[in-house]
């Protein structure tokens, strides 16, 4: 059982493709595009501007990444390192070797806690799926065998934080209370508009300002840099539906943002990680059959909360998704202790249906 640090292009390719062996018989798994993953692990990714990442692979058995995120350490003033991109056969000895290697790496840098999984940070996929294993994952959400949680706890890891996912079956109308609150927001001079693809750059800058302000106090949050924003925008632009990516404004100033994305995992399952003429045809076919959305982004500036901005965003988004024939929305993820957002989601009719768990262990 030889563990190697990934360095060559051949090893990086093996690292990226390894999950295909874990999920080869799993019809729910949606493999990311291999080309997209190669970009994620390249120096094009601005995450590497402020982080040290090492990849480790036990060929045919497992993989893991050690992540030292200097911006997290500085922003939160805690000596925490991370593990991510964990995939493993159901063998505690293999997982112990993988987790142990990351633990050693983090100790060398005088870090005191190992936390994860993070792929690469809370701005992206994080956590192990804890329940709902019989349900397909939506776009950019974690998916894993149930035994991953057992492998984590057998290494001595404990719960750090749970993240919730809610599902909402689209009804004919929104609850009266939501409509009433949205009407209140309108009377305060708040308006909603779709993101402009012609002015995409400036609208994404507005999103960054709202995001960094509204999420500032959230557990695990790290502000987006300009380079990270541009990198993320480049990834999301092809799948954005402008009428479902909404900006709230008051007196011309952006104060809130909501991003609903079609669940392109429906397409990725058919493409099987490959981009070629055959899979492009499949993508076109399956993209027309998407009926689910994921509420990926929601943020409201602190001084504009409790003014009905969220209800107004939901109302305008609801009108569009009804016209386009979407049937379900996943609200994810929501911190387990973010009670205000949980109340809003339940008021809309959302039901808790999945939990993701982040683990940690003292070093």
* 356 Cβ contact list (under 8 Å, min separation 6): 126, 127, 128, 129, 130, 141, 142, 162, 163, 164, 165, 333
pLDDT over 80 at 247, yes or no: yes
Q: In angstroms, what CA-CA distances link 21 with 26, 63, 87, 268, 347?
A: 10, 12, 10, 17, 41
DSSP 3-state of 294: strand
Residue 15 in tokens = 């690292």
pLDDT at residue 217, as a whole number: 83
Burial of 38 (0-12, 13-18, 19+ CB in 10 A): middle
The pLDDT tens digits of the residues spanning 185-216 come to 999 999 999 999 889 888 888 888 898 888 88
For 93-160, the DSSP string reads HHHHHHHHHHHHHHHHTT--EEEE-EESSTTSEESEEEE-TTSPPPTT-----THHHHHHHHTT-EEE
The pLDDT tens digits of the residues spanning 116-128 come to 999 999 988 999 9
The pLDDT tens digits of the residues spanning 11-64 come to 999 999 999 999 999 999 999 888 889 999 998 999 999 999 999 999 999 999
Taking residues 93-97, report their average pLDDT. Answer: 97
Single out the residue of 294, 193, 306, 169 nearest to residue 243, CA to CA: 193
Question: What whole-number distance in Å separates Cα of residue 211 and Cα of residue 203?
Answer: 12
pLDDT at residue 160, as a whole number: 98
Taking residues 331-346, report their average pLDDT. Answer: 91
- Could you tell me the end-to-end alpha-carbon distance of the chain, in angstroms, rounded to an integer? 24
Mean pLDDT score across all residues of the chain:
91
pLDDT at residue 281, as a whole number: 60
Taking residues 87-114, report their average pLDDT. Answer: 97
Question: What whole-number distance in Å separates Cα of residue 321 and Cα of residue 313?
Answer: 12
Taking residues 230-246, report their average pLDDT. Answer: 86
Single out the residue of 114, 115, 136 nearest to residue 126, CA to CA: 115
Say if CB 267 and CB 274 are below 8 A apart: no
Question: What whole-number distance in Å separates Cα of residue 112 and Cα of residue 164?
Answer: 27
Share of the chain above pLDDT 70, in %: 96
Say if CB 22 and CB 116 are below 8 A apart: no
| Site of tokens 């602190």 | 302
Helices within the chain (DSSP H only):
9-17, 19-22, 34-40, 70-76, 92-108, 147-154, 176-187, 200-214, 226-236, 265-271, 277-287, 309-324, 339-348
């Amino acid at each position: 059982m030889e563990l190697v640090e990934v360095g060559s292009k051949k090893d990086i390719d093996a690292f990226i493709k390894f999950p295909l062996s874990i999920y080869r018989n799993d019809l729910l798994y949606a493999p990311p595009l291999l080309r997209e993953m190669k970009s994620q692990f390249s120096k094009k990714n601005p995450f590497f501007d402020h982080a040290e990442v090492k990849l480790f692979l036990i060929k045919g058995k497992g993989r893991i990444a050690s992540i030292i995120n200097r911006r997290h350490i500085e922003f939160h003033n805690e000596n925490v390192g991370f593990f991510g991109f964990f995939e493993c056969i159901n063998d505690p000895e293999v997982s112990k070797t993988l987790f142990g290697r990351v633990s050693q790496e983090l100790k060398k840098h005088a870090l005191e806690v190992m936390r994860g999984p993070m792929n690469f940070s809370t701005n992206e996929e994080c956590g192990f799926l804890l329940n709902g294993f019989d349900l397909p994952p939506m776009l950019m959400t974690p998916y894993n065998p149930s035994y991953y949680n057992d492998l984590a706890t057998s290494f001595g890891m404990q719960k750090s934080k749970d993240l919730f996912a809610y599902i909402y079956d689209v009804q004919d109308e929104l609850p009266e209370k939501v409509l009433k609150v949205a009407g209140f927001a309108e009377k305060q001079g708040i308006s909603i508009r779709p993101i402009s693809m012609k002015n995409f750059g400036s609208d994404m800058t507005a999103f960054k300002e709202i995001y960094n302000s509204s999420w500032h106090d959230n557990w695990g949050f790290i502000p987006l840099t300009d380079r990270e924003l541009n990198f993320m925008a480049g990834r999301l632009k092809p799948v954005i539906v402008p009428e479902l990516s909404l900006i709230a404004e008051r007196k011309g100033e952006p104060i809130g943002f909501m991003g609903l994305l079609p669940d392109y995992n429906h397409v990725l399952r058919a493409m099987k990680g490959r981009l070629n003429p055959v899979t492009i045809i499949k993508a076109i076919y399956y993209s027309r059959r998407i009926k689910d959305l994921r509420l990926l982004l929601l943020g409201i500036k602190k001084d504009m909360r409790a003014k009905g901005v969220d209800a107004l965003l939901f109302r305008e988004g609801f009108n569009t998704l009804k016209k386009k024939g979407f049937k379900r929305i996943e609200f994810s993820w929501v911190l387990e202790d973010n009670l205000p957002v949980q109340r809003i989601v339940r008021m809309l009719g959302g039901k808790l249906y999945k939990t993701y768990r982040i683990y940690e262990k003292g070093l």
